[in-house]
């Protein structure tokens, strides 16, 4: 950037900031600490700070800020809780971070329609706390207590997507401020519609590159009458995966089916002295009636036995269930405990379930040969698995080894007709894989981005470059 252009740009940013400050006063911050915190996510990739952070309170305010930023061609970066994992909130071109944490109202709950409307800053735990007395819950659980806006923007899912779907399946409509400042509600509250292009699904997973999501209408689900949870060790990865496939094929409506590999089980044993068999292990949960969850648990026990797994221990009392699932709940921190001083990053490839055993086995071999520490935890009912990859980020050689491993992992998943990201999103971190994943489809994405955001102000440098 020449110095004249750079000066012009700085002036534009300064003018935009002045106008936004006139609009929202002290809720606009340019403090270095606040800006740094808003550019940095949970990974070991360094984020870049925005020039300012706007703590917004209404959709109309967001629209006015976007118009100001559009006028000065200043980037707008939506911010929820900062728990994303691929640099979504980083501001490589500076600009204004739009922090939605003060937009944290549940606007409506419609128990008869099993839906609710929330502001983007409401977190999933806050929502479920709010719903507690209604007998309803919002199931999507990506681990972190993320904002609903952020979860929508990254097309998040998590442990119980195998039963309840991902954000794509649970968002009825969004209110979104478009790059020109128009406020668009993408659909009505009807459960289905065939009235034109699916703008809702276009915004879900667009990572703020097509607009700022300010309100979301979500599907809710009835809290199940009964829950059973269980744990089942298997002799190896393929037998555990075969049991998963058989479970899904039989149509058992499993709510969660999680794999911990041997290394992860070892870490959990070391962390909490659990005494689990140190072998690949499935953690399951069933939702239904008392009779239903018992029937399902027993059917799974029979499937597991057929594939050499067992004993399958299961329980329905909350206390007993928590005990059985402790290893799964603590998995990440157990791994962290094994690698003091190193930084963790979580991968999330997803492959057709028929290729899962092969993909996990090859990846384990790759990790072992490369000498990297990476326990595996998988949402295996969807063919999706995570490696908690540990890296000494001060050691350039180790960073390079990790990055090369991540490239091989993405390539492996793509060769199996899978995706480089099952649930974390693209951000800036996975842009390099999209050409291989989408081919000419990437040009279609670029065409859409250019048409909807011709000035490229919405979260630039994420998903596609234009």
Residue with tokens 């029979």: 302
| Contact status: 452 vs its own copies (CB under 8 A) | yes
The two three-digit tokens of residue 336, written as one number: 């962290």
Query: At its nearest, how many Å lie between its own copies and the CB of residue 254?
Result: 13
Side-chain half-sphere of 280: how many Cα atoms within 13 Å? 27
Please tell me whether residue 1 binds its own copies under the rule CB under 8 A. Answer: no
Site string for its own copies, 347-366 (x = CB under 8 A): -x-xxxxx------------
| Size, binding site for its own copies by CB under 8 A | 95
Among 53, 65, 187, 212, binds its own copies (CB under 8 A): 187
Residue 121 Ramachandran class (φ > 0 left, ψ -120 to 50 alpha, else beta): alpha
Contact 374, 332 (CB under 8 A): no
Q: Is 33 helix (H, G, I), strand (E, B) or coil?
A: helix
CB of 168 to its own copies, least distance (A): 7
10 counts as binding its own copies under rule CB under 8 A: no
Least separation in angstroms between residue 246's CB and its own copies is 9
Residue 148: both structure tokens together:
């609903």
Question: Using the rule CB under 8 A, is 164 a contact of its own copies?
Answer: no
Q: Residues 6 or more apart from 328 whose CB is under 8 A from it? A: 258, 260, 283, 377
What's the closest the beta carbon of residue 18 comes to its own copies, in angstroms? 28
CB of 391 to its own copies, least distance (A): 22
97-156: contacts with its own copies (CB under 8 A): 110-115, 135, 154-156
H or E element that contains 223: none
Among 34, 250, 274, 399, binds its own copies (CB under 8 A): 250
Residue 383 touching its own copies (CB under 8 A): yes
Nearest to 423 by CA among 242, 166, 72: 166
214: left (phi over 0), alpha (psi -120 to 50) or beta: alpha
Does position 417 interact with its own copies (CB under 8 A)? The reply is yes
123 neighbors 81 (Cβ within 8 angstroms): yes
Distance of closest approach, residue 431 Cβ to its own copies, in angstroms: 9
Residue 61 vs 115, nearer CB to its own copies: 115
Query: Token pair 């118009």 is at which residue?
Result: 67
190 binds its own copies (CB under 8 A): yes
Q: In sequence order, what E strands does 179-329 have?
A: 183-185, 212-219, 221-222, 226-233, 254-260, 281-288, 313-315
Instruction: Restricting to residues 329-348, name those near its own copies by CB under 8 A.
Output: 348
Maximum pairwise Cα distance, the chain: 73
**Is 245 or 389 the residue whose CB approaches its own copies more closely?**
245
Binding positions for its own copies, 256-315, rule CB under 8 A? 289, 291-292, 295
Beta carbons of 276 and 327 less than 8 angstroms apart:
yes
- Shortest Cβ 52–its own copies spacing (Å): 27
CA distance linking residue 440 with residue 87, whole number of Å: 25
Find the shortest distance in angstroms from Cβ 57 to its own copies. Answer: 22
The CA distance from 92 to 456, in Å, is 13
**466 touching its own copies, by CB under 8 A:** no
Q: Which backbone phi and psi does 345 adopt, to 5 degrees? A: -135, 145
Residue 346, H or E segment? strand 343-346
Residue 439 lies near its own copies (rule: CB under 8 A)? yes
Distance CA 229, CA 423 (A): 24
Q: Which of 69, 98, 120, 161 binds its own copies (CB under 8 A)?
A: 161
* Among the listed residues 59, 83, 384, 456, the single contact to its own copies using CB under 8 A: 384
Residues 193-232 that bind its own copies (CB under 8 A): 193-199, 201-202, 204-206, 210, 221-222, 224
Among 132, 188, 365, 403, binds its own copies (CB under 8 A): 188
- For its own copies, the closer of residues 158 and 230 by Cβ is 158
- Residue of 433, 456, 457, 461 interacting with its own copies (CB under 8 A): 433
């Amino acid at each position: 950037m020449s110095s004249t252009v750079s000066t012009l740009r700085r002036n534009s940013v300064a003018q935009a900031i002045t106008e936004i400050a006139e609009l929202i006063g002290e809720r606009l911050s340019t403090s270095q600490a606040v800006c740094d915190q808003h550019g940095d996510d949970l990974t070991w990739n360094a984020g870049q700070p925005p020039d300012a952070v706007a703590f917004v309170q209404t959709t109309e305010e967001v629209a006015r800020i976007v118009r100001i930023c559009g006028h000065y061609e200043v980037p707008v970066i939506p911010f929820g809780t900062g728990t994303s994992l691929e640099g979504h909130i980083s501001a490589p071109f500076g600009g204004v971070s739009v922090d939605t944490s003060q937009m944290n109202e549940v606007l409506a709950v419609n128990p008869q329609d099993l839906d609710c409307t929330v502001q983007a800053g409401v977190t999933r735990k806050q929502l479920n706390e709010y719903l507690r007395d209604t007998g309803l819950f919002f199931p999507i659980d990506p681990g972190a207590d993320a904002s609903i806006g952020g979860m929508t923007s990254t097309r998040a899912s998590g442990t119980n997507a195998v039963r309840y779907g991902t954000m794509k399946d649970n968002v009825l409509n969004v209110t979104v401020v478009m790059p020109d400042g128009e406020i668009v509600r993408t659909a009505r509250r009807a459960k289905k519609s065939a009235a034109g292009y699916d703008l809702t699904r276009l915004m879900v997973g667009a990572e703020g590159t097509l607009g700022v999501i300010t309100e979301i209408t979500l599907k809710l689900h009835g809290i199940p009458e009964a829950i059973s949870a269980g744990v089942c060790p298997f002799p190896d990865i393929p037998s555990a995966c075969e049991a998963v496939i058989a479970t899904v094929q039989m149509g058992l409506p499993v709510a969660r089916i999680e794999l911990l590999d041997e290394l992860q089980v070892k870490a959990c044993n070391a962390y909490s002295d659990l005494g689990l068999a140190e072998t690949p292990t499935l953690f399951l949960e069933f939702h239904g009636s008392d009779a239903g969850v018992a029937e399902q648990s027993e059917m799974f026990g029979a499937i597991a036995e057929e594939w050499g797994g067992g004993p399958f221990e299961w329980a329905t009392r909350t206390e007993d269930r928590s005990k059985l699932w402790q290893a799964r709940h603590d998995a990440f921190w157990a791994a962290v405990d094994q690698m003091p001083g190193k930084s963790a990053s979580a991968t999330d490839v997803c492959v057709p379930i028929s290729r899962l055993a092969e993909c996990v086995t090859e990846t384990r071999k790759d990790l072992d040969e490369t000498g990297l520490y990476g326990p595996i935890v998988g949402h295996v009912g969807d063919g999706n698995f995570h490696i908690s990859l540990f890296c000494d980020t001060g050691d350039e050689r180790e960073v390079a080894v990790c990055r090369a491993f991540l490239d091989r992992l993405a390539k492996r998943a793509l060769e199996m007709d899978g995706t480089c990201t099952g649930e974390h999103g693209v951000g800036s971190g996975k842009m390099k894989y999209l050409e291989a994943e989408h081919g000419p489809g990437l040009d279609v994405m670029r065409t859409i981005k250019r048409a909807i955001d011709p000035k490229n102000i919405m979260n630039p440098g994420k998903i596609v470059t234009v």
